[in-house]
Amino acid sequence: MALTLPLARFSRLVVKWGLRPRGNLMTTLPRLKSVKTMLLVTLIASTLACGYSSKNTPPAAGNVPAIAQLAPASRNAGSGAFTLTVNGSKFNTNAVVNWSGTAQSTTYVSGGQLSVAIPASAIATAGMVPVTVTNPGTTGTGMYGSGGTMPETSNSMTFTVN
C-alpha cells in the first residue's frame, strides 16, 4: 500500500482530527516529501511486522522413486537398440530414466512402470551401466504458495552389457 499525493497542487497541508483542524502540518514542498517518505517507510514496516509480506517457503521433499526391476536386466554387446522397462514405485508422470547418469527420453506407463528406448551405441561395448530414475522437482506456486518440491533420485540398479 502506498500513499500518493499530487505534490505540485499543495502549498500547505492541514490535518483534521475529527472535524477540528489541528494546524498546519507543513508549509514547504521538501517537508511534504520527507513526510510522504516517512509515511511510506512506516507503512512498509507495519506490513512486514503484521505478517503480510510474502513468505519464502523452502521446497519440501518430493516423492522418492524406487527401482525394483529392469527388464531386460542385460543384453549382449553390439546386439542393437532395445526398449528398457523399469519397474518400481513412486514414479511421477514426469519421471526420467538416467542411463549411466544421462537423462533419457522416458515414457511414463504408470506410477510403477517407465520405458525408455536405449540406442545400439549405448551397448556397443561390454560393461556395467548404472540406471536410476529421477522425479524432477516442482516450483512453488504464487506469492503465498508452497516452495514446491525437491528433485528426488531412486536407488541405482545395474544393467549388464555382456
C-alpha distances (whole Å) from 26 to each of 7, 17, 23, 32, 123 are 12, 16, 9, 7, 82
Cut 0.85: pTM above it: no
Is a pLDDT exceeding 60 seen at residue 157?
yes
- Out of 32-36, 41-45, 149-153, 158-162, the most confident range is 158-162
96, 100, 105, 106 alpha-carbon torsion, rounded to 10° = -40
Region of poorest pLDDT, from 80-94, 97-111, 137-151: 137-151
Euclidean distance between CA atoms 106 and 95, whole angstroms: 7
Domains along the chain with CATH numbers: 7-49 (no CATH), 66-161 (2.60.40.10)
pLDDT for 15-51, tens place per residue? Answer: 454 555 555 555 545 555 555 555 555 555 555 555 5
